[in-house]
Amino acid sequence: METLASYLEALASAQPVPGGGSAAAVVGACGAALIAMVARIVLGNSKYADNHDAAHAIVEQADALRALLLAGRELDEAAYEKVVAATTLPRDTAEQKTAREAALQKALRRASAVPLEAASLCLSVLKLAERCSELGNKHLMSDVRCAAAFARAAFASATYNVRANHPYLMDAALVAAQEAQLGEMKKQVEVCFLDRNN
């Protein structure tokens, strides 16, 4: 089983994978994990019994988001590996050039779609952190704010990784659609007050 130390060792290596998109998903997953922790502590305290239903729902959603983001980490690594593989294809003949470009464009589409989904998941983590802040345990607000900060950072990082592919994508309609999605998500990030100015 991979440990955090071994993952960070791989991240610190000269290899291109894992990279920023993978790390962004891990940071988002950390935010989701903190939210689940706070909600579980609330569930274990009868003082907050009125909020137990809300806390239970938050736990379920946070655990699901954490799992999706961790899976997204592996998807991001696989997507980038496909891009790298496509760039190594031969291009000595016209046929090879055509095949290489088709493979590269397919890989780039995937490499932009994966972090776009991660950005959406990170937005969900941020919204969930805001709900978690209403559970009533003021002693855990630093953890909730950390979760929100992680979600914001992961969202921004995922956005960078979507846009890193755009200069090389030949599908202008796809680029425009992804930019529109990112713009709409950013608006929602900006109106979430939690941790915005801290």
Q: pLDDT (tens digit, 9 = 90+) per residue, 17-54?
A: 999 999 999 999 999 999 999 999 999 999 989 989 99
The distance from CA 44 to its chain's CA centroid, rounded to whole angstroms, is 29
For the chain, give percent helix, strand, coil, nearest 5.
Answer: 80, 0, 20
Assess contact for 126 and 151: CB atoms under 8 A: yes
Give the domain ranges of the chain: 16-191
Assess contact for 31 and 42: CB atoms under 8 A: no
> pTM value?
0.94
Assess contact for 76 and 117: CB atoms under 8 A: no
Q: What is the pLDDT of residues 52-65, one digit of tens each?
A: 999 999 999 999 99
16-191 CATH, one of 3.30.1050.10, 3.40.50.150, 1.20.20.10, 1.20.120.680: 1.20.120.680
